[in-house]
Amino acid sequence: MFEPLLAFAARVDALLWGPWTMAFIAATALFFTLRSRFFQVRRFGFILRRTAGTAFRKGAAARAGRLTPFQAVSTALASTVGMANMAGVATALSLGGPGAVFWMWALAFLGMMTKTAEITLAVHYRDAGPAGGDGRVRGGPMHYIRKGLGWGFLAKAFSVGVIVNALFTATLLQSHTVGRAFLESYGLDPYITTAVIAVAAGAIILGGLRRIGRFCERLVPVMSLVYIAAGLAVVLLNSGRVPAVLALIVTHAFSPVPAAAGVAGHSVASALKYGMARGMLSNEAGLGTAPMAHATADTPHPFQQGLWGAFEVFVDTVVICTITAFAILSTGVLDGGRTGIELVLAAFRSSLPAGMASAVVSFSILTFCLTTQIGFFVYFETAASHVFGRASIRWLRWVYLVPGVLFAGFADVDRLWVFANIAVGACALPNLAAILALSGVFFALMKDYLEGRNAYATETTDSTREYIRTAADRRAT
């Protein structure tokens, strides 16, 4: 039934993820890194102090329609830390070989500044809501594309890309991965598993932004630490193979993996493609989705919230994705013909007691999936309200979780990931074009914050244009 759709999606994927797209993504990230003079390296300690160092401080509660900075980053991490960190890395390895990990790292290193830029711009151009409204703050690429550049059509195109991304990546692939894992571990029907997840996610989503923020800030740190601890245990138990794994990653980033008996070969091009595509899907640097959560933060300065973007990329890719990759490569399960979450399960089971491995992976994928679907609803709602109007959310929220249940029993997981590639490209290309065009605004805000001038005033809002302005904007008018 789905064959024509899958065949068409494969053709779109091949067109969208050609060499020019990858070059554009890398060049944009390199531009922000060079112009900031490698800020993410020079001031890495500063980034950690202003983000992780403040995460658990007791602060004032956020106002109505907003989240605290930590709730905002937890919501963003909820959608960022998901199946791409486990099944996504596994499919990148099975389709692109060990070299895909190197390109994942390279894009993450450069992408730390890309994500800082897009979050800063999202806070700067966010919509505080009309006077007398619900007070809900909304923002993201569709706002800075429309307000900063006046490109209304591109803002709409980006919003449509986010809707597709949410329906296929956040709901379909997340639920499908959990369904396959619970079938593999406990023999549960995937349709039952995904239906339960949809009901649980729906209960949180219907509670509104505040309930989403509170849920994410409590669960995201716990689920991340559980997976990191278990993954590190697998790597440490195979620590003797770590040097060989590192050599394998670097070698096959620049040279192809030859085919062997029963094992497919991998080209450098496939390593580059799947490393960059899965890496971008995982850490969302340049994708334009995370800024929609960060735009809701009750923060004193856009760049201060933007620093969380660099932190997110580091945690997501340099820490969590690397642990998954090293667990798979150090245990030698990559050549077993498995892919997706089955490959992750095989890696954990090879080093941990079978019951413990199944429990840890099941807990991780269940919580990763649930939080991703919940966090991504903020993006879905923001994009849908931009395209169809805010009233549309009343009925669109009911179709948000449907694709995950519909495709629960589909067996060919690699072909489903094609939709993720398309969704990433559809969001990333217009967003990257916009942040390049608005780079002058970003670097002005960055300079304002780092020099301690803090001329920015987040509470000054133009009620006609719904545009939160800087002190310079006020003087100009």
Taking phi over 0 as left and psi of -120 to 50 as alpha, with beta for the rest, 38 belongs to left
Contacts 24+ apart (CB under 8 A), 207-210: 209/65, 209/67, 209/136, 209/296, 209/378, 210/67
The H-or-E segment that residue 457 falls in is strand 456-462
Looking at residue 421, what is its pLDDT? 75
Q: What is the chain's length?
A: 477
**296: helix, strand or coil:** coil
Q: Record the tokens describing residue 71, joined without a space.
A: 């709730």
**210: helix, strand or coil:** helix
**337: helix, strand or coil:** coil
Looking at residue 20, what is its pLDDT? 82
3-55+63-476 — its CATH code?
Answer: 1.20.1740.10
Distance set, CA 384 to CA 20, 158, 165, 230, 420 (Å): 29, 11, 12, 38, 19
Within 8 A by CB and 6+ apart from 29, the residues are 107, 110, 111, 113, 114, 285, 286
The H-or-E segment that residue 459 falls in is strand 456-462
Packed helices 99-124 and 302-313: angle between N→C axes, nearest 10 degrees: 170
Looking at residue 407, what is its pLDDT? 67
Q: Record the tokens describing residue 331, joined without a space.
A: 């245990």
Looking at residue 423, what is its pLDDT? 78
Instruction: Name the residue ranges covered by the structural domains of the chain.
Output: 3-55+63-476
Residue in the structure block whose two tokens are 């729906």: 202
- CB-based contact 234:330 (threshold 8 Å): yes
Looking at residue 393, what is its pLDDT? 76
Looking at residue 451, what is its pLDDT? 84
Looking at residue 438, what is its pLDDT? 94
Q: Record the tokens describing residue 405, joined without a space.
A: 């249940």
Which parts of the chain have pLDDT scores under 50?
60-65, 131-133, 259-264, 459-477
